[in-house]
Amino acid sequence: MDLSAISPVLLIASLMVSATPILLAAIGELVVEKSGVLNLGVEGMMITGAISGFAIAVETQNPLLGLVAAALAGAILSFIFGFLTQVLLSNQVATGLALTLFGLGFSSLIGKSYSGVKPPASARLDIPLLSDIPILGPVLFRHDLMVYVSVAIVAGVWIMLKFTRAGLVLRAVGENHDAAHALGYKVVRIRLLAIMFGGACAGLGGAYLSLIRVPQWTEGMTAGAGWIALALVVFASWKPWRVLLGAYLFGGVTVLQLNLQAAGLAIPVEYLSMSPYLITIIVLVIMSSDRNRTALNAPASLGRTFHASH
Amino acid sequence: MTPIKTILAGAALALGLTSAAFAEGKVKAGYIFVGPVGDFGWTYQHDQGRKAVEAEFGDKVETTFVESVPEGADAERVMTQMALGGADIIFATSFGYMDSVLKVAKKFPKVKFEHATGYKRADNVSTYSARFYQGRAVIGTIAGRMTKTNKIGYIASFPIPEVIRGINSAYIHAKKVNPDVEFKIVWVYTWFDPAKEADAATALIEQGVDVIMQHTDSPAAMTIAEEKGIMAFGQASDMSKFGPNAQLTSIIDNWGPYYIARVGAVMDGSWSSTDTWDGIKEGMVKFAPYSDKVPADVRAEAEALKKAIADGSYHPFTGPLNKQDGSPWLKEGEVADDGTLAGMNFYVEGIEGDIPQ
């Protein structure tokens, strides 16, 4: 065993990369759930974003355009969900699951001709001077653009929810859609916007996987990341910074266990492999043990269908 | 979500097969795959084998497949549906399908089953595998010669004999040409998860590895190796398009001839339960072309090893060899028997770390 082989600096840098897809998807889903909608289609939107972003990036040889396309594709797909659940009042759980199935199938269909294609390289943002700071440089200032974008989105969502009128309205809709409706807020429209924001974020998360983290297209490459993002929102008790913490914790444990193995640590691999999931479950149990606190945090109208009868 | 996807696929398949079951005189071959056929690794090669069967027999055969079938109850259901749908022979192409194959085979005694990389047989269940360890011996030799940091990374899937055998064979031969060599082994507990495979490759590279071998199915590690400018070996299929500079060579699983022989045996009624374990000699284990990076003397050494293994003058597990704990395994000149190899559950001396149990 040689623990000195693990460089903490590189470890932190790569856990940020590893966590970014689920972070993006989870922060999007947080906004959706804050508006009172439960979209279980995160996995489907992620994988659709992954292939759309990949395809556009390959066709245009421009990774940035690919990311934009991925966000658009995620938003469009989520709009289908939004239309079905908000306008046609279909069941959110069933529709969300259907969206995941559709996304997986649809992505393999359009992805057929993109298997084995190399995407254009995404530029790494080497911020001059700052990236030369020892330790902090490699950890904080040598990432690709999307790592910063994801953190910026978290900060943006936090500010929006906490300090702005729009955030207050969104939360009102999520807490009590009847009251919000009575006050004259357009519940359906607000929810549709939130759903599309969530879709765009999930699409970005997927494209991050196919364009930057792996970078290649393979069928089913999200491999359950969308479900982890969903769990992460509950884990974070619907608070933006906790989503960041949770995602980095999850990414950190995932990367750390691989590094510990490579360094030859004598802990059985099974325990290392399950540790990210185990920690998620433990946190969920601790959180749910106090019923009042959980109830306080979850949006009161989460998953309930809204129908304006008058 | 894979399970549900396969449920749908399975249902669609059952419908499709029953309606076609009355087509005359055709032999129906069903394949179940653990990953997507577009994984460009293990499953892709099996699907190439399936296509070879179609090309060989044309109208006389009908093949179907279900991809991304998880190992477990799902596999049992998919195979049952295939058998109910009139399949004459079913190829189950992952180790973890083993018990499901035997259960379903018991219920359908007239259907022939072929299980890849397993060791449990029945009157209507054959097993087949390739001697990948022969290929691992060759790439181990190349890895030992090519590494500059003397650290070789190995991305392993599950601690089954197949994978352990590969690690041992690669290690023995890398060590033989380069006594300073050290193996860093990471178990990812999946056959196919590109993100996880990529993370494992990154972790290995960060710890100073400059050659990566993998025993997982996707080319993700190859892509990372290419990006980070290190060397790697493809797995199951030629992965050079994912790592034009990184790939030194690749072990290629060539299932086509076996599949053609077995489907042919069903046609002429000569099928019987067998245990096939073919290697370089029979052409089941092949290699991708060497990259330009591999110098002529290393190529010559690798070619000589291939030839010696093919003509039987050399066995990759030849003594003296000790087990990891130092206890003797093979005496000077002694060769491992197939039984021990098939159930291999120990590292050879020199490998660090424990096999997860």
Rounded percentage of chain A residues whose pLDDT exceeds 70? 90
Q: Which candidate in B7, B164, B186 is best for mutational testing of the A interface (most A CBs within 10 A)?
A: B186
Distance CA B118, CA A215 (A): 33
What average pLDDT does the structure give for chain A? Answer: 87
Q: SS3 sequence, chain B?
A: CHHHHHHHHHHHHHHHHHHHCCCCCCEEEEEECCCCHHHCCHHHHHHHHHHHHHHHHHHHEEEEEECCCCCCHHHHHHHHHHHHCCCCEEEECCHHHHHHHHHHHHHCCCCEEEEECCCCCECCEEEEEECHHHHHHHHHHHHHHHCCCCEEEEEECCCCHHHHHHHHHHHHHHHHHCCCCEEEEEECCCCCCHHHHHHHHHHHHHCCCCEEEECCCCCHHHHHHHHHCCEEEECCCCCCCCCCCCEEEEEEECCHHHHHHHHHHHHCCCCCCCEEEECCCCCCEEECCCCCCCCHHHHHHHHHHHHHHHCCCCCCCECCEEECCCCEEECCCCECCHHHHHCCCCCECCCCCCCCC
Test A219 with B2 for CB contact under 8 angstroms: no
Distances from the Cα of B287 to the Cαs of B27, B175, B252, in angstroms? 31, 21, 5
* pLDDT: which is higher, B152 or A18: B152
The answer to whether A77 touches A103, Cβ cutoff 8 Å, is yes
Residue B130 pairs with which residues in a beta bridge?
B278
Region A240-254 average pLDDT: 89
Distance CA A32, CA A44 (A): 15
What pLDDT digit, counting tens, does each position of A17-47 carry?
889 999 999 999 999 999 999 999 999 999 9
Region B21-49 average pLDDT: 83
Residue B250 pairs with which residues in a beta bridge?
B234
Model confidence at A274, pLDDT cuts 50, 70, 90, reads confident
| Residue in B68, B186, B190 closest to A262 by CB | B186
The answer to whether B41 touches B239, Cβ cutoff 8 Å, is yes
For A5, name the nearest residue in chain B, comparing CA atoms only. B207
Q: Report phi then psi at B289, rounded to 5.
A: -60, 150
Query: Distance (Å) from the C-alpha of residue A255 to the closest C-alpha of chain B?
Result: 7
Distance CA A267, CA A5 (A): 17
Q: What is the pTM of this model?
A: 0.81
**Taking chain B, what is the end-to-end CA distance rounded to the nearest angstrom?**
29
pLDDT attached to residue B22: 42
Test A101 with B38 for CB contact under 8 angstroms: no
CATH 1.10.3470 fits A3-123+134-297, yes or no: yes
Distance CA A79, CA A203 (A): 13
Is pLDDT of B44 > 80? yes
Region B277-296 average pLDDT: 93
Residues of A in contact with B65 (CB under 8 A): none
Residues of B in contact with A218 (CB under 8 A): 36, 38-40, 194, 218-220
For residue A135, give the 3-state DSSP assignment: coil
Model confidence at A79, pLDDT cuts 50, 70, 90, reads very high
pLDDT attached to residue A259: 84
Residues of A in contact with B186 (CB under 8 A): 258, 261-262
Model confidence at B19, pLDDT cuts 50, 70, 90, reads very low
What pLDDT digit, counting tens, does each position of A175-198 carry?
999 999 999 999 999 999 999 999
Test A101 with B8 for CB contact under 8 angstroms: yes
| Residue in B202, B223, B356 closest to A268 by CB | B356
Residues of A in contact with B194 (CB under 8 A): 214, 216, 218, 221, 223
Residues of A in contact with B209 (CB under 8 A): 262
pLDDT attached to residue B17: 44
Which range of A130-134, A282-286, B210-214, B351-355 scores highest in mean pLDDT? It is B210-214
Query: Distance (Å) from the C-alpha of residue B235 to the closest C-alpha of chain A?
Result: 14
Model confidence at A2, pLDDT cuts 50, 70, 90, reads low
Residue B285 pairs with which residues in a beta bridge?
B253
For residue A1, give the 3-state DSSP assignment: coil
Region A253-271 average pLDDT: 78
pLDDT attached to residue A175: 92
Query: Distance (Å) from the C-alpha of residue A195 to the closest C-alpha of chain B?
Result: 21
| Closest listed residue to residue A230, CA positions, set A303, A144, A295 | A303
What pLDDT digit, counting tens, does each position of B70-91 carry?
898 899 999 999 999 999 999 9
Distance CA A222, CA A220 (A): 6
Model confidence at A50, pLDDT cuts 50, 70, 90, reads very high
Domain ranges of chain A: 3-123+134-297
What average pLDDT does the structure give for chain B? Answer: 90
Is pLDDT of B7 > 60? no
Distances from the Cα of B68 to the Cαs of B40, B61, B167, B217, in angstroms? 14, 23, 26, 12
Query: Distance (Å) from the C-alpha of residue A265 to the closest C-alpha of chain B?
Result: 7
Distance CA B94, CA B6 (A): 16
pLDDT attached to residue B63: 95
Test A216 with B220 for CB contact under 8 angstroms: yes
Count CB pairs under 8 A between chains A and B.
Answer: 130
Please identify which residue in the block is written with the tokens 């894979």.
Answer: B2
Least confident piece of the model among A281-285, B65-69, B122-126: A281-285
Domains within chain B, CATH numbers bracketed: 2-130+255-278 (3.40.50.2300), 132-245+285-342 (3.40.50.2300)
What pLDDT digit, counting tens, does each position of B200-219 carry?
999 999 889 999 999 998 88
Model confidence at A297, pLDDT cuts 50, 70, 90, reads confident
Torsion sign over Cα B110, B70, A46, A50: negative
B129 Cβ neighbours under 8 A, 6+ residues apart: B116, B117, B118, B162, B276, B277
What is the ipTM metric for this complex? 0.77
pLDDT attached to residue B214: 95
pLDDT attached to residue A134: 72
pLDDT attached to residue A266: 65
* Strands B211-214 and B112-116, sheet pairing: unpaired
What pLDDT digit, counting tens, does each position of B300-337 carry?
999 999 999 999 999 999 989 999 999 999 999 999 99
pLDDT attached to residue B1: 39
Q: How many residues does chain A have?
A: 310
Residues of A in contact with B38 (CB under 8 A): 108, 111-112, 115, 218-219
Is pLDDT of A227 > 60? yes
* pLDDT: which is higher, A276 or A240: A240
pLDDT attached to residue A9: 81
pLDDT attached to residue A127: 67
